[in-house]
Each structure stands twice: as structure tokens, then as C-alpha cells.
């Protein structure tokens, strides 16, 4: 775990050096180093309101510390990073479901955490509508981190180092639900995935090889981009892709939130960025490889074995090796 922490720290410090950093002061007069959010050229504007939670070098570092801290869970064994692993694009590597407190499992596949500044709904069903609120669900879920917010705050407030860091970032040593989740948001917001080979090609810094280029043409010709819209490679909408109900979970997706039968079995369209690292696939992790995914879509998007192979070569170009220190 320590090696993951320090590799991520090194990458984070390098990234911060590349971004625009300037000095500012918090309400208590402490000097902070402001960070300008690095929106990639040609990308849409993010939807996150940075005016309510300005990025600072110190705030991001504090959020990272919390992300790796097991004290946010009941027994200390399940920090955020236990389910959102940096080397797996902040998803859970090679697991359909993630391990939680008391040998329990989650009921959905952990999504990768990147490019969250462009999201206004979170979880597979969109049940959380603000990034600052998102951590509260896994922290309090009995089969995940299984803690109460009150206990988490008590543990953090008992730590003198945390009090100093929160005082510097937020102007008060008192650690509250709001400033704890804002710190976590600052860390998650800087997890921008925009330096894959695909991105380098789009910036004119690299070229696809012949197989990758052919795979990209198949991606466009087969209209995969109608749901997986560039550059985020998701349309951020809730859709049904024809998967039958999984009887093990009876998860009806978006309908659980809206109560509308029209939303039955609709789930948030995942990004295809880093798809080579975020298997198994679908909300319940039922497909363990891309071949299984292609087979599922075969009725509506038939692909020959050669086309499948070429499409896979293109999808591999969406891996961002700088994300999370990979």
C-alpha cells in the first residue's frame, strides 16, 4: 500500500508543477498555492463548481491523505483506495465486486475515478448528484466502509496533524463533514485522464499504427461513439444496453432512483477511457473481457473476429499511463 501511496504522491507533485499555481490565502490568513484546473484543449467545460471549492496544492494533498486513510472505515482496513486502486484507473482490479467490511462484498462493480469534474451524477444509477456528497455513501454503507460520519469526524479531529492541515486549507482546525468531503473532492478532481495515446494523436504528438487506425474507423463506423462520445468517451446518460436482470442482485438501475418504469435496467454509460484496465465490465462486472462484451452486442453491432481484434487495438490507446502513477 505504501508503494502505491508514494508513487501517486510523486506523480501528483509532478502534475502540480505543470499546472498554473499561484499563492492565495484562506479565511485564517494562511498562504495556499492555488491550482488552475487543467481543462484539456477542445474539451467541454467541467460542470463542477470550483468557486465553492477552489483547488489548492494543500487541499489536494489533504484529500489524497484522506483517500488513503483507513480510519474512514470502521475497522481501518478499507480506505477509499482499497476499492479505487490507482494502477487500475482507480477501479478495483480484476474483481467484479469489491471487498468490504466483515468479509462482505459490494453489490456493484467499482467504476474508475477520473474526469469527475465533468460528471453531475454519480454511482451507476446516478443516486448521488454532487461529487462532494459522493464519499458519504461508501463510508456509511454497511457492506463497504461501514462507519458513521460522526465516528469518522471524531477520529480525524483527534489527530493534531489533521487539525493543522484542515486549519491551513479551510481556515479552521475543526474537521466537519463539509470540509472533509471537499478535501476528498479536490483530490478526485485532479484525476484527469487526458494523456493516452489517443489524446497524443489528437494533439498531433503521435500517430496510430495501422491496426489502431483501423480500429478507430470501426469505432466510428459502427457508431460506438453514439453512446461513448469523445473526448470523455461517455455521453453521461442513463441507458439500457439490453442486459437482462441479474437475479443475484435484482438491480433495476436508474428506476431505483426515479421510480419510473421507463428507467428500468438503465445504468450510467461508462467511459471507455482506460477500458483495458477496468475489467470486468458492466455495472455488476458480469463480463470478464472485451470478447464477452462484443458477444453481448453482437445482435445490434455484429463484428467479425478481425474487426473485434482491431477495435480492441484502438481501445487500448485509451489507456492513460500517467493517471495515478501507472
Closest CA to 163 of 188, 139, 140, 180: 180
pLDDT for 23 equals: 53
Torsions phi, psi of 48, nearest 5? -65, 140
| Whether residue 292 is found in the same domain as residue 313 | yes
Domain range enclosing 289: 197-325
pLDDT for 2 equals: 43
Closest CA to 71 of 143, 147, 138: 147
User: What is the count of structural domains for the chain?
Assistant: 2
Closest CA to 278 of 293, 263, 256, 257: 293
User: What secondary structure does DSSP assign to 15-26, as a single string?
Assistant: HHHHS-EEEEE-
Lookup result for grid cell 484539456: 40
| Whether residue 117 is found in the same domain as residue 14 | yes
User: What secondary structure does DSSP assign to 251-277, as a single string?
Assistant: --BTHHHH--GGGTTBEEPPP-TTTTT
| Whether residue 74 is found in the same domain as residue 205 | no
**Domain boundary residue among 189, 223, 258?**
189
CA 204 to chain centre: 27
**Domain boundary residue among 142, 157, 189?**
189
pLDDT for 3 equals: 44
| pLDDT tens for the 326 residues of the chain, in order | 444 444 444 444 444 444 454 556 565 446 899 999 989 999 999 999 999 999 999 999 999 999 999 999 999 999 999 999 999 999 999 999 999 999 999 999 999 999 999 999 999 999 999 999 999 999 999 999 999 999 999 999 999 999 999 999 999 999 999 999 999 999 999 999 999 999 999 999 999 999 999 999 999 999 999 999 999 999 999 999 999 999 999 999 999 999 999 999 999 999 999 999 999 999 999 999 999 999 999 989 999 999 999 999 999 999 999 896 54
CA 35 to chain centre: 20
pLDDT for 5 equals: 42
| Whether residue 144 is found in the same domain as residue 37 | yes
| Whether residue 137 is found in the same domain as residue 268 | no
> 2-18 vs 57-67: helix axis angle to the nearest 10?
160
Largest Cα–Cα separation, the chain: 63
Closest CA to 193 of 49, 17, 326, 56: 326
**Domain boundary residue among 138, 158, 189?**
189
| Whether residue 48 is found in the same domain as residue 78 | yes
pLDDT for 38 equals: 87
Torsions phi, psi of 266, nearest 5? -95, 135
Alpha helices by DSSP H, 41-143:
57-67, 136-140
* Cα distances (angstroms) measured from residue 207 to each of 43, 197, 238, 295, 320: 20, 8, 33, 29, 16
C-alpha triplet 35, 39, 43: angle, nearest 5°:
170
158: domain CATH number is 1.10.760.10
| Whether residue 171 is found in the same domain as residue 202 | no
Amino acid at each position: 500500500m505504501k508503494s502505491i501511496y508514494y508513487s501517486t504522491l510523486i506523480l501528483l507533485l509532478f502534475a502540480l508543477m505543470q499546472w498554473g499555481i499561484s499563492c492565495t490565502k484562506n479565511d485564517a490568513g494562511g498562504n495556499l498555492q492555488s491550482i488552475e484546473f487543467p481543462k484539456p484543449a477542445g474539451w467541454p467545460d467541467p460542470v463542477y463548481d470550483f468557486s465553492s471549492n477552489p483547488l489548492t496544492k494543500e487541499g489536494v494533498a489533504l484529500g489524497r491523505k484522506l483517500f488513503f486513510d483507513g480510519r474512514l472505515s470502521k475497522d481501518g482496513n478499507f480506505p477509499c483506495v482499497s476499492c479505487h486502486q490507482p494502477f487500475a484507473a482507480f477501479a478495483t482490479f480484476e474483481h467484479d465486486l469489491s471487498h468490504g467490511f466483515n468479509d462482505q462484498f459490494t453489490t456493484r462493480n467499482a467504476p474508475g475515478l477520473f474526469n469527475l469534474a465533468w460528471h453531475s451524477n454519480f454511482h451507476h444509477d446516478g443516486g448521488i448528484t454532487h461529487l462532494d456528497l459522493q464519499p458519504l455513501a461508501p463510508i456509511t454503507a454497511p457492506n463497504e466502509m461501514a462507519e458513521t460520519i460522526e465516528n469518522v469526524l471524531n477520529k480525524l479531529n483527534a489527530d493534531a496533524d489533521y487539525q493543522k492541515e484542515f486549519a491551513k486549507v479551510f481556515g479552521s482546525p475543526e474537521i466537519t463533514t463539509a470540509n472533509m468531503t471537499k478535501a476528498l473532492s479536490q483530490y478526485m478532481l485532479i484525476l484527469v485522464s487526458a494523456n493516452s495515446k489517443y489524446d497524443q494523436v489528437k494533439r498531433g504528438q503521435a500517430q496510430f499504427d495501422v491496426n489502431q487506425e483501423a480500429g478507430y474507423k470501426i469505432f466510428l463506423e459502427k457508431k460506438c461513439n453514439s453512446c461513448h462520445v469523445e473526448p470523455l468517451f461517455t455521453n453521461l446518460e442513463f441507458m439500457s444496453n439490453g442486459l437482462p436482470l441479474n437475479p443475484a442482485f435484482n438491480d433495476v438501475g436508474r428506476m431505483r432512483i426515479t421510480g419510473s418504469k421507463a428507467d428500468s435496467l438503465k445504468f450510467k454509460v461508462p467511459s471507455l477511457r482506460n477500458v483495458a484496465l477496468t475489467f470486468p465490465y458492466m455495472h455488476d462486472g458480469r463480463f470478464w473481457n472485451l470478447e464477452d462484451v462484443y458477444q453481448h452486442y453482437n445482435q445490434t453491432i455484429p463484428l467479425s473476429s478481425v474487426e473485434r481484434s482491431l477495435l480492441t487495438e484502438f481501445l487500448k490507446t485509451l489507456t492513460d499511463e500517467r493517471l495515478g502513477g501507472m
